[in-house]
Amino acid sequence: MAIDDPQVQAGVFGVALPAFSGAIGAGLGWLIAGRRDKKLAEAGSSFDEDMKQSPRADALLALGLGGAFAVASLGLFGVPDTWPRAMSEWMLPIVAAGTVAATVPGLIGRGLPSAVVRWLLRAGFVAGLLAWPLANTRSNHWEGAEAAAWMAGVAAWLLLSFAAMDRVATRLPRAMVCVVLGLSVAGLIPVVFGAGVTAQPQVSGGLAAGIGVAGVVALISRGIVPLVGAGGVVVAWLASTMFVGWPFVADMAWWEVGLSASLPVLAALPTLVPGLSKRRAAAGWIAVALVAGATAGVSARHVPDLVSELTGSGQGSDLDDLYEMYGS
Amino acid sequence: MQTVSIVAAVAAGLTAVGGLSLDRPVAAAESRVAAAEYVVDAAHSSVLFKVDYQNVVPFYGRFNQVQGTYTIDFENPSSSAIDVTIPTESIDSNNAGRDDHLRGPDFFSAREFPTISFVGTSFESVDEDTMNVEGNLTLRGVTKPVSVELNWGGEGNDFRGGTRSGFEAVMTFDRSDFGVNYGVDNGVLGDATTVTVALTGMQR
């Protein structure tokens, strides 16, 4: 279906359909979580138990979020007809691969096998990132030991981010986890836009919409919908965002890259504080505050320009507004 | 008379600064070409691009740097060669903000793909001044064949010594074929892109 009006197209593919995808994922997850999960919830089970008992719900929610990003990307920019070369072309494949790594473990079973598969897939995801999307950066900017150091650093950051997000997803209240995930995505949109990348913010809006609606569905549902897979999708999205915005490709400042990349660890910090580890609500509020503070820190100065561009408040066309922003 | 002399002197001074001399002009263009290799003189070469803006007007921009070598032989076209590289960062659209955007991931992604290159692969003489050139254009990491019409300007003695030659070449391609598709779908910017290259070089 062709949509001629760009604003309608942005609304349909950037918000409505991604939100629908998130809702479907969460809704199916809730249905499949089933009566057993409801009993567990009523019995006050721990979140670790939730995760063990509801792997399919977790997988479907992750699939819904990956679908939200895919719908936004394909709807707004079309189906890629070539193997990606530029980092901006790698965004969808990165999130798609992250979605697979987040979804498959929940579909194959529970317990240790699922965890082993999850980390094997994540390791494969990291290796794939180093091999393909980062190939240009490696050849253009890094040499010898420097290349090895960067690759090791990126791999360590990704694995640490996965582990941190697992902790967030299993130790904080669901509402707080949804807010952390949604805020992580939506909060970084202005800084990426300010870096001169317009594609990533547009499709990221779709992911944020998906998380928002999925979170609402997950919260109002009586079944348990864990969020480990959703956290994995957000980490994959964060990787694509950092790689397309960092100074090797675009214009994010290094401190903006560092603070943005630390969001999963920041969100997990409260779960590591002995006094807070058992006070989930308090830990959740602190995690939300840390993520909100970090995203505000990197994005605040870019918000007026983003709003100006979105509303066309300049005197000329949208592109003129954009160039006025870059020139300022 | 004195006024005329002053004007002539000023004109001579200005043109000399620009790289030309009224006293010793570059030799008149000659169509006959020896198969010599020339190194591109970036200071006196131009690379312009044209793309439609909102389907109402062509927009022109340029690249301020170009480097490479060429050998053009009309008598034996198969011995011709062109290898030209344009640093992507040198794009200039007369708007600093737009230049940043053009260098960024939406367009050329200059930090990922620092150069645009054209390498001639086959050459065919059309007449004594015109040659059709097939070659590989590499843009944003994508290499595709494009056709170029080359109009030879001639060769002759440079006023500083040595031998200088030059030509103008025009190619048209769809930028979306190279992944540069920003603004195509919504009609803000055209897809068809015309690049005009006016190169002059010094014989090696």
Given a cut of 80, whether residue A36 has pLDDT beyond it is no
Q: How many CA atoms lie within 13 A of A33 on its CB side?
A: 30
* Residues of chain B found within 8 Å of residue A244, distances taken between Cβ atoms: 105
Angle between helices A199-220 and A91-108 (to 10 degrees): 20
Rounded distance between C-alpha atoms, residue B17 and residue B24, angstroms: 14
* CA dihedral sign, ordered A149, A153, A156, A162: negative
Say what the pLDDT of residue B78 is: 94
Residue B179: both structure tokens together: 């992944």
Pick from A86, A195, A244: which is nearest to B140 by CB? A86
- Element (H or E) spanning B77, and its range? none
Distance (Å) from the alpha carbon of B179 to chain A's nearest alpha carbon = 8
Tell me the pLDDT tens digit for each residue of B148-200. 999 999 999 998 899 999 999 999 999 999 999 888 887 889 999 999 999 99
Say what the pLDDT of residue A104 is: 93
Rounded distance between C-alpha atoms, residue A230 and residue A237, angstroms: 11
Rounded distance between C-alpha atoms, residue B201 and residue B155, angstroms: 9
Say what the pLDDT of residue B145 is: 98
**Between these two residues, A109 and A68, which has the higher pLDDT value?**
A68
Say what the pLDDT of residue A213 is: 87
CA angle A297, A300, A301 (to 5 degrees): 110
| DSSP-based three-state secondary structure for B107 | coil
* Residues of chain B found within 8 Å of residue A250, distances taken between Cβ atoms: 104-105, 111
Q: Are B111 and A140 an interchain contact pair (Cβ–Cβ within 8 Å)?
A: yes
Given a cut of 80, whether residue A116 has pLDDT beyond it is yes
Q: pLDDT band for A27, please (50, 70, 90 cuts).
A: confident
| Cβ pairs A/B, distance under 8 A | 82
The residues, any chain, with a CB within 8 Å of residue A2's CB and separated by 6 or more, are none
Residue A249 near residue B112 (C-beta atoms within 8 A) = yes
Q: What percent of chain B has pLDDT over 90?
A: 73
Rounded distance between C-alpha atoms, residue A192 and residue A15, angstroms: 18
Say what the pLDDT of residue A217 is: 80
**Between these two residues, B14 and A71, which has the higher pLDDT value?**
A71
Q: What percent of chain A has pLDDT over 90?
A: 49
DSSP bridge pairs for B46? B198
Q: Are A249 and B111 an interchain contact pair (Cβ–Cβ within 8 Å)?
A: yes
A251–chain B Cβ distance below 8 A for any pair: yes
Say what the pLDDT of residue B11 is: 42
Say what the pLDDT of residue A100 is: 96
Say what the pLDDT of residue B187 is: 83
Distance (Å) from the alpha carbon of B186 to chain A's nearest alpha carbon = 7
ipTM, two decimals, is 0.80
Say what the pLDDT of residue A304 is: 86
Rounded distance between C-alpha atoms, residue A74 and residue A81, angstroms: 11
Tell me the pLDDT tens digit for each residue of A148-188. 999 999 999 999 999 999 999 988 888 889 899 999 999 99
Rounded distance between C-alpha atoms, residue A226 and residue A103, angstroms: 12
Tell me the pLDDT tens digit for each residue of A203-244. 898 899 889 888 888 777 756 667 899 999 999 999 999 999
Residue B109: both structure tokens together: 């992604």
Nearest residue to A171 via CA among A41, A26, A49: A49
Say what the pLDDT of residue A39 is: 58
Nearest residue to A185 via CA among A225, A156, A214: A214
- How far are the Cα atoms of A51, A66, A314 from residue A24, in angstroms, in the given order? 19, 12, 39
Mutate to test the interface with B, among A13, A309, A323 (most CBs of B within 10 A): A323
Q: Which of A77-91, A177-191, B115-129 has the highest mean pLDDT?
A: B115-129
Tell me the pLDDT tens digit for each residue of A253-300. 999 999 999 999 999 999 999 888 778 889 999 999 999 999 999 999
Nearest residue to B84 via CA among B73, B97, B69: B69
Mutate to test the interface with B, among A73, A77, A136 (most CBs of B within 10 A): A136
**Alpha-carbon Rg for chain A in angstroms:** 19
Residue A178 near residue A225 (C-beta atoms within 8 A) = no
Q: Are A137 and B188 an interchain contact pair (Cβ–Cβ within 8 Å)?
A: no
Residue A79: both structure tokens together: 């189906």
Nearest CA in chain B to A323: B97
Please identify which residue in the block is written with the tokens 């980390």: A119
Q: What percent of chain A has pLDDT over 70?
A: 82
φ, ψ of residue A66 in degrees (nearest 5) = -60, -40
Rounded distance between C-alpha atoms, residue A26 and residue A46, angstroms: 20
Q: Are B141 and A86 an interchain contact pair (Cβ–Cβ within 8 Å)?
A: yes
Burial class (CB in 10 A: 0-12, 13-18, 19+), B7: exposed
Please identify which residue in the block is written with the tokens 């007809």: A81
DSSP bridge pairs for B191? none
Nearest residue to B188 via CA among B40, B57, B72, B47: B57
CA angle A109, A21, A87 (to 5 degrees): 90
Please identify which residue in the block is written with the tokens 């999960």: A37
Rounded distance between C-alpha atoms, residue B145 and residue B173, angstroms: 10
Nearest CA in chain A to B188: A319
Residue A167: both structure tokens together: 């902790």
Going along chain B, which residue ranges are E strands?
38-40, 46-53, 57-63, 67-71, 81-87, 91-92, 115-125, 130-139, 142-157, 163-174, 189-203
CA angle A147, A255, A151 (to 5 degrees): 15
A328–chain B Cβ distance below 8 A for any pair: yes
